């Protein structure tokens, strides 16, 4: 019984969590088009994926949106975090609370409300609608990532800078941004991954003229799972993992600076 709880039970947990992902990775190398039976190792599906020009365009769309949304969200998020930390203004606590509200709000609600907003203001669904939606989605995550780091800094550093004659702009550009850089990078990476694999909100605010990867995958899967998708998922997984590791490393470095 002791052995069961100590070793076997946790291995079931990990099995349950990671077995499906492992199967996707394994079958992306399977030399069979519709079978769940192992027929030998191949890189065929990866070649096919890279020769599918429609798929590559869609992937490029997703990456462009991801880069732009992440850059916008991490910039706005940083400014939000810094203002929340440094200044007193009307509605400060409300703004702080609203960030968390945005994080817990179901994406379907955000998607529908954005769709309503776009149709009310006659914004065509496409590149801009998607970019705005993804930026909105990422800002709270970016702001909170940066905010949690800025609170760990010694407040008297900013007072010292001011005492030495630095203007607000100099304090921001020469002290705050360099000290927060790792956290800003982490916020950017987090936003990029959020944007890259967002399905629900994107589903509401994208138009036929500008397709993105997650929605394309979703559409393909409805016609049956092609091994090409397994290959795509494997690549996405590796990409996301690399980004997460990079973000972790950046945050670790920031922790050291903060000490």
Partner 1 sequence: MYTNIVELKGVSKCFGDYKALETIDLTIQNGEFITLLGPSGCGKTTILRLISGLEKPDTGHIFINGQDVTDWPPEHRHLNMVFQSYALFPHMTVFENIAFGLRCRKIAKNEIVERVEEILRIVKLTKLAQRKPDQLSGGQQQRVAIARAVVNRPLVLLLDEPLSALDYNLRKDMQVELKQLQRKLGVTFVFVTHDQEEALSMSDRVAVMNEGHIEQLGTPRDVYEEPANLYVAEFIGETNVFETKVIRSDKQTVEVKVEDKRFTFKNKRGLKTRQEVCVTVRPEDLAVWRQEEVGEVSDDMLPGKVEQVIYKGSIVELVVRLESNKRIYATEFFNEDDEKLDYQIGERVWVNWIPGWEVILPV
Question: Rule CB under 8 A: which residues touch partner 1?
Answer: 154, 156-157, 159-167, 170, 174-175, 178-179, 257-259
- Least Cβ distance, residue 164 to partner 1 (angstroms): 4
Q: For residues 32 and 153, which CB has a smaller minimum distance to partner 1 in the complex?
A: 153
- Least Cβ distance, residue 233 to partner 1 (angstroms): 40
Query: What DSSP state is assigned to residue 207?
Result: -
Query: CB of 191 within 8 A of CB of 138?
Result: yes
- Least Cβ distance, residue 254 to partner 1 (angstroms): 11
Q: For residues 37 and 164, which CB has a smaller minimum distance to partner 1 in the complex?
A: 164
- Least Cβ distance, residue 152 to partner 1 (angstroms): 12
Q: For residues 25 and 181, which CB has a smaller minimum distance to partner 1 in the complex?
A: 181
Q: Is 94 exposed, middle or buried (0-12, 13-18, 19+ CB in 10 A)?
A: exposed
- Least Cβ distance, residue 82 to partner 1 (angstroms): 16
Could you give the CA distance from residue 201 to residue 214 in angstroms, rounded to a whole number? 11
What's the half-sphere exposure (Cβ side, CA atoms, 13 Å) at 66? Answer: 23
> How close are the terminal C-alpha atoms of the chain, in Å?
45
Q: What H or E segment, with its residue span, contains residue 191?
A: helix 177-196
Q: For residues 106 and 165, which CB has a smaller minimum distance to partner 1 in the complex?
A: 165
Beta strands in 97-233 (DSSP E): none
Q: For residues 183 and 231, which CB has a smaller minimum distance to partner 1 in the complex?
A: 183
């Amino acid at each position: 019984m002791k052995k069961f709880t100590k070793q076997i039970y946790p291995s079931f947990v990990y099995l349950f969590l990671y077995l499906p992902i492992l199967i996707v990775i394994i079958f992306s190398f399977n030399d069979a088009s519709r079978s769940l039976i192992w027929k030998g190792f191949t890189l065929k599906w990866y070649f096919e994926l890279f020769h599918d020009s429609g798929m590559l365009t869609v992937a490029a769309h997703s990456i462009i949106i991801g880069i732009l949304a992440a850059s916008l969200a991490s910039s706005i998020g940083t400014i939000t975090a810094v203002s929340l930390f440094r200044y007193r203004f009307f509605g400060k606590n409300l703004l702080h609370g609203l960030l968390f509200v945005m994080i817990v709000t179901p994406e379907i609600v955000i998607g529908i409300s954005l769709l309503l907003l776009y149709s009310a203001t006659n914004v065509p669904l496409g590149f801009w609608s998607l970019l705005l939606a993804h930026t909105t989605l990422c800002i709270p995550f970016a702001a909170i990532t940066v905010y949690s780091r800025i609170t760990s800094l010694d407040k008297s550093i900013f007072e010292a800078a001011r005492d030495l004659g630095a203007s607000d702009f100099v304090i921001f550009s020469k002290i705050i941004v360099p000290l927060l850089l790792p956290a800003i990078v982490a916020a950017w990476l987090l936003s990029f991954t959020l944007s890259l694999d967002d399905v629900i909100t994107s589903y509401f605010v994208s138009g036929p003229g500008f397709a993105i990867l997650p929605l394309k995958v979703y559409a393909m899967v409805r016609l049956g799972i092609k091994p090409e998708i397994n290959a795509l998922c494997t690549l996405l997984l590796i990409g996301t993992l690399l980004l997460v590791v990079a973000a972790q490393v950046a945050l670790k470095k920031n922790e050291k600076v903060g000490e």
